[in-house]
C-alpha cells in the first residue's frame, strides 16, 4: 500500500477528529459514534486506525494521571 497523499491524510485526520469529538460528547459510547467510526475506517489506512485508537487511550490515561495523580500499587510482599 502506498502512503496517503496530502488530501487523503487531511480526510483521514478530519474523520478522526469527528470521531473523537463524538466520543467526547457521548462519554466514549462507541455505539453512538458508529457512523464516524465507519467514516474513519473508510478514509484511513487500518494501521492508522489502530494507532489512533491507542493514541486516544494514551492521551486519556495521561490526562487522568495529570489531574488525579498516581498512586502506586502495594505490590508483592517480600519477606526478608
Domain-located, residue 21: yes
Domain-located, residue 41: yes
Domain-located, residue 42: yes
Domain-located, residue 64: yes
Give per-residue pLDDT as tens, 38-50: 999 999 999 999 9
Domain-located, residue 11: yes
Domain count along the chain: 1
Quickly state the pLDDT bin for 1 (edges 50, 70, 90).
Answer: low
Cα 20 to Cα 27: distance, rounded to the nearest angstrom: 10
Strand intervals (E) in 2-72: none
Please, are residues 29 and 36 in contact by the beta-carbon 8 Å criterion? no
Domain-located, residue 28: yes
Domain-located, residue 78: no
Cell of 69: 495523580
Q: Length of the chain in residues, anyone? A: 80
Residue 43: which domain range? 6-68
Please give the model's pTM, rounded to 2 decimal places.
Answer: 0.80
Amino acid at each position: 500500500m502506498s502512503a496517503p497523499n496530502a488530501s487523503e491524510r487531511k480526510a483521514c485526520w478530519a474523520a478522526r477528529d469527528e470521531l473523537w469529538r463524538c466520543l467526547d460528547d457521548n462519554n466514549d459510547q462507541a455505539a453512538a459514534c458508529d457512523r464516524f467510526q465507519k467514516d474513519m475506517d473508510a478514509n484511513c489506512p487500518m494501521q492508522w486506525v489502530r494507532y489512533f485508537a491507542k493514541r486516544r487511550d494514551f492521551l486519556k490515561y495521561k490526562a487522568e494521571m495529570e489531574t488525579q495523580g498516581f498512586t502506586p500499587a502495594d505490590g508483592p510482599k517480600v519477606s526478608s
